[in-house]
Amino acid sequence: MEQSAQSALLLYSCEKNNFGNASSVHWAGRKVKSVVDDARESLAHCLGLSDPNEICFTGSATEAINTALKGFFFHHFQSQKVRFLTSAVEHEATLQTLEFLQTLGATVEVLPVNAKGELDLEQWEKALAASKELTLVSLMAANNETGVIFPWEEVAKLAKRHQAFFHLDAVQAPGKISQFHLSQEVDFASFSAHKMGGPKGVGALVIRKGRTLASLMHGGAQERKRRAGTVNVPGIAAFGAAAAALPKRDLSKILELRNYLEKSVREKISGSHLQGEGAQRLANTSNFLFDGVRGEALLMGLDLEGYAVSSGSACNSGSILPSHVLLAMGFDKAAASSALRVSLGPDNTREEIEGFLEALVSQVERIRVRGKKSSSITA
């Protein structure tokens, strides 16, 4: 976590005079309310929003995405048919929410990606033009497994041209795409503090002025009646501190390390394949497949050596399901279960990459040799 975010988290969790509830009218409440307001301003500034009140704090990006999609459906479904357009490689927070809304009568159309994980803008334009139903497009700014960046600004413009609304799952963008700001055509956008140098368990939903969503939580007037419940003051204060520090992050250093890692893997490990190669990608994410190596075995081997990497999507770890992202890119189940995703942070160093490469080379070799032995025993 970003140093200033850590300090804010501690200050508003433990410090004696910061015990207030931001909804209380007494001095202690007012004191922490101003902390929440400051955090809202810092985040608004970081995202290029002129009105901080467009930000509604949530408990995670998953909650923000659920609120955007369900809130849109519940607000409109009694008066008209509601349709959602999305991509096959969205986070499960989007895909599973839309599956649920489909059972309630929503039309859901899921558009494919190509073998590099990219979108086809013509297909999106056609899908937008094909129906007069009230439509909400939900698209990620960048894919969390491959790092492939989507042309979300263009899709948002297309959506506007066809009178559709646009929700951006922007979780992977701030701090990983340089100069990321929300464009005017984005109606709703979801964020996660822990992907921006803040703590886990805090998120934000941007609801642009004049757009309405039904609230999912009832029982309080917090967050301008958009999300009832006492707000997480330490988490929000830390989110604000992380957002204030984010524009200073030097992306070129992370990009240089990522490029070095990818080049070295290509040179040192035969039968290695980088996903999304040639597509526009995030500065910090690399997704590899290694011939003859199960991702799970590799992940466990690297874990024993002290490296925290993921196979497939980290949000799905604990499950051994093949990655739906790689399946959508055309890989079979075996390949889609074998991915290794490496995400670099702002503090990683060249020495750490060298150590990681050494461990990776030896683990891939070990697994391949073991695989050969067991196949010769079986034969």
Report if residue 91 touches ligand PLP, rule: CB under 6 A.
yes
Report if residue 93 touches ligand PLP, rule: CB under 6 A.
yes
Lateral strand order in the sheet of 55-58:
55-58, 203-207, 188-192, 165-169, 134-140, 82-87, 107-111
Q: Which of 2, 33, 35, 60 binds ligand PLP (CB under 6 A)?
A: 60
| Cα 24 to Cα 19, 31, 153, 226, 321, distances in angstroms | 11, 10, 40, 18, 46
Please identify, using beta-carbon distances, which residue of 91 and 258 lies nearer to ligand PLP: 91
Per rule CB under 6 A, count of chain residues that contact ligand PLP: 13
Identify which of 47, 123, 116, 132 has the alpha carbon closest to the alpha carbon of residue 86: 123
Please identify, using beta-carbon distances, which residue of 62 and 286 lies nearer to ligand PLP: 62
Please identify, using beta-carbon distances, which residue of 20 and 295 lies nearer to ligand PLP: 295
Report if residue 192 touches ligand PLP, rule: CB under 6 A.
yes
Taking the complex as a whole, the smallest distance from the CB of residue 170 to ligand PLP amounts, in Å, to 8
Identify which of 214, 175, 194 has the alpha carbon closest to the alpha carbon of residue 56: 214
Report if residue 62 touches ligand PLP, rule: CB under 6 A.
yes
Report if residue 315 touches ligand PLP, rule: CB under 6 A.
yes
Annotation marks residue 14 as catalytic: no
Taking the complex as a whole, the smallest distance from the CB of residue 140 to ligand PLP amounts, in Å, to 5
Please identify, using beta-carbon distances, which residue of 143 and 272 lies nearer to ligand PLP: 143
Which range of residues in 168-176, 335-343, 344-352, 359-367 is near ligand PLP by CB under 6 A?
168-176
Report if residue 144 touches ligand PLP, rule: CB under 6 A.
yes
The residue whose two tokens read 């929003």 is 49
Q: DSSP letters of 115-172? A: TTS---HHHHHHHHHT--SEEEEEEESB-TTT-BBP-HHHHHHHHHHTT-EEEEE-TT
Report if residue 86 touches ligand PLP, rule: CB under 6 A.
no
Report if residue 138 touches ligand PLP, rule: CB under 6 A.
no
Dist. CA 118–CA 112, nearest whole Å:
9
Report if residue 323 touches ligand PLP, rule: CB under 6 A.
no
Report if residue 243 touches ligand PLP, rule: CB under 6 A.
no
Dist. CA 180–CA 188, nearest whole Å:
15
Q: DSSP letters of 146-159? A: T-BBP-HHHHHHHH
Quickly count: other Cβ atoms within 10 Å of residue 232's Cβ.
20
| Catalytic, out of 14, 46, 56, 315 | 315
Please identify, using beta-carbon distances, which residue of 310 and 348 lies nearer to ligand PLP: 310
- Which tokens belong to 96? 């599973």
Report if residue 47 touches ligand PLP, rule: CB under 6 A.
no
Report if residue 172 touches ligand PLP, rule: CB under 6 A.
yes
Which range of residues in 126-134, 165-173, 231-239, 294-302 is near ligand PLP by CB under 6 A?
165-173
Please identify, using beta-carbon distances, which residue of 81 and 249 lies nearer to ligand PLP: 249
Q: Which of 2, 54, 118, 169 binds ligand PLP (CB under 6 A)?
A: 169
Please identify, using beta-carbon distances, which residue of 147 and 301 lies nearer to ligand PLP: 147
Dist. CA 263–CA 164, nearest whole Å:
42
- CA Rg value for the chain: 22
177 contacts 150 by C-beta, under 8 angstroms: no
Identify which of 228, 217, 175, 218 has the alpha carbon closest to the alpha carbon of residue 197: 175
Tell me which residues touch ligand PLP (CB under 6 A): 60-62, 91, 93, 140, 144, 169, 171-172, 192, 203, 315
For the annotated catalytic residues, the residue numbers are 315
